[in-house]
Amino acid sequence: MKTALASARKEVSVVYKYTTIVFMILTVVFACVAGYLYLSIPPPPAAVAPTEVRIGTSFAFTGPNAIYGEMFRRTMEIYLEMVNEKRGGIYLSKYGVKVPVRFIWYDDKSDGDTCIKVAERLITVDKVHILAPSFLPCTYTTLPTAQKYETLNVAVITCNDQLFSRDMTWCYSFENLCSRYARELYEFMATLSPPIKKIAILCCEAYWLEAANDFKRGCEKYGWEYTYERHDPFPTDFSAWIAKAKAYNPDAVVCFELYEESLLLARQMKEMGFRPKFTCLYDGPQIPDFVEALGAADSEGLFSCSPGVYNWTHPWTNEFLDLFEERFGTKPYPCSTWEGQWFAGLEMIYYAIEKAGDVDPVKIKEVLDTNVFWTITTKVEYKNGDLSEWGFLPELKYTNVNIWASNCVYQVQDSEIQLIWPLEAATSKEIRYPLKGWGEPWP
């Protein structure tokens, strides 16, 4: 019995010993096979850096807004020189490389429907990383297209409150919205002596409705009497309105127009002998081409109101101005309108992409949503929701609005465009008011 038990134990021990050896051999074989398979599978490819940052835009090279397209083209050239040639491109930390910026653009012909087609092509065919439309009406019509395709759209020239009160989460304003567009103008007018009492207001409502409404609020604030008339874009004759305004005998005329409209209006006002002691054409007199087209004598004393002033402490400001003068033989306008404003918007795009370290739109959007930027013309900080504390319309809920944008008042003095309000930023302390007749010298 004992002998059988001992024999059985011995057999079990032998089996266990050989089983253990076999298991160890199999383990080694399995490890070798697994190691071989692991080493034979190629590693996932490293992230490939983009070869460029593509910014899509449109120019009005033809049509009534062609003057703005030419200004944007000049701005784009200086931007590319400063970013690509002088800085080697935008640094993308994800890839550890700098890549150049490339603009892809088309002529929108000053036409809103063409702008939509251009935006569609830029997004779906050219695969741009960001849209940056140059001017109206393109700004208005491309915002819904950008939202539809979830493509970032930095609308440097914005104005329209209603668009940014919708859920345009992929679109960002840059300049002032219309609901605050007239504030600097009426606050300035309230300081004039002799005081203004009656005002004739004319407005192209397709672009300027909320700006005119803001100015009306200023009239009510200061007790000014006013008459108001609207019109559609690009009229060919203002004589009927001029006749009615002349009969009203106002102290001031404030017209919310674009360049071509302002030029036509000024010419017809002169023909009809109508020049109140304060005449403000919202977009025109602050552009040197306007002074040249209308003539120095007739432009003398005209007022205008447009976006901000240069930030002279910003490291890029003088570089931008000097390069512009070197290339085009003149500095961009003494204040920021319009080349400086466009450059500042593109400058912000540069900072946002560099901080994101990538061209991924989600990452760039996160940077725009959570950071404050300083540009050559303005501070930029985006807010959402009720922005009434910042002076925006209390009845609207806003999306991606720059709360720091502001406007300035300009006057033509001796053929030069001078910033006269706010006083702390003024390039001329003289205010030429009340105006004299067309062509009469000052004083």
- Is-cis flag, bond preceding 434, omega within 30? yes
What is the full per-residue pLDDT of the chain (443 aa) written as tens digits? 545 444 544 554 544 454 555 445 555 445 554 445 445 555 555 578 899 999 999 888 898 888 888 888 999 999 999 999 999 999 999 999 999 999 999 999 988 899 999 999 999 999 999 999 777 777 778 888 999 999 999 987 767 888 888 888 999 999 888 889 899 999 999 999 999 999 999 999 888 889 999 999 999 999 999 999 999 988 999 999 999 999 999 999 999 998 999 999 999 999 999 999 999 998 889 888 899 999 999 999 999 998 877 888 899 999 999 999 999 988 776 565 688 888 999 999 999 999 999 999 999 999 999 999 999 998 999 999 999 999 999 999 999 999 999 899 999 999 988 999 999 889 899 999 999 899 988 87
What is the structure's pLDDT at 442? 84
Total Cβ atoms within 10 A of residue 342 = 30
CA distance 30 to 38: 12
- Do 307 and 341 touch, CB atoms closer than 8 A? yes
CA distance 106 to 119: 9
CA distance 412 to 287: 10
Phi, psi for residue 86 in degrees, rounded to 5? -90, -25
What is the structure's pLDDT at 16? 46
What is the structure's pLDDT at 354? 98
Domains of the chain and CATH, by start? 53-178+311-406 (3.40.50.2300), 183-306+409-425 (3.40.50.2300)
Q: What is the largest CA-CA distance in the chain?
A: 139
Tokens representing 308? 């901000």
What is the structure's pLDDT at 138? 76
What is the structure's pLDDT at 441? 86
Residue recorded with tokens 């930029």: 380
Calculated CA dihedral for residues 54, 60, 62, 63, nearest 10 degrees = 160
What is the structure's pLDDT at 178? 87
What is the structure's pLDDT at 239? 97
What is the structure's pLDDT at 8? 43
Following DSSP, what letter does each residue of 298-348 receive, concatenated? Answer: HHTT-EEEEE----TTSTTHHHHHHHHHHHHSSPSPSSSTTHHHHHHHHHH
CA distance 81 to 88: 9
What is the structure's pLDDT at 112? 85
| Cα dist from 335 to 49, 187, 286, whole Å | 38, 19, 9
What is the structure's pLDDT at 336? 56
What is the structure's pLDDT at 128? 97
Tokens representing 113? 């429907």
What is the structure's pLDDT at 29? 47
- Do 177 and 157 touch, CB atoms closer than 8 A? no
User: What does pTM read for this prediction?
Assistant: 0.86
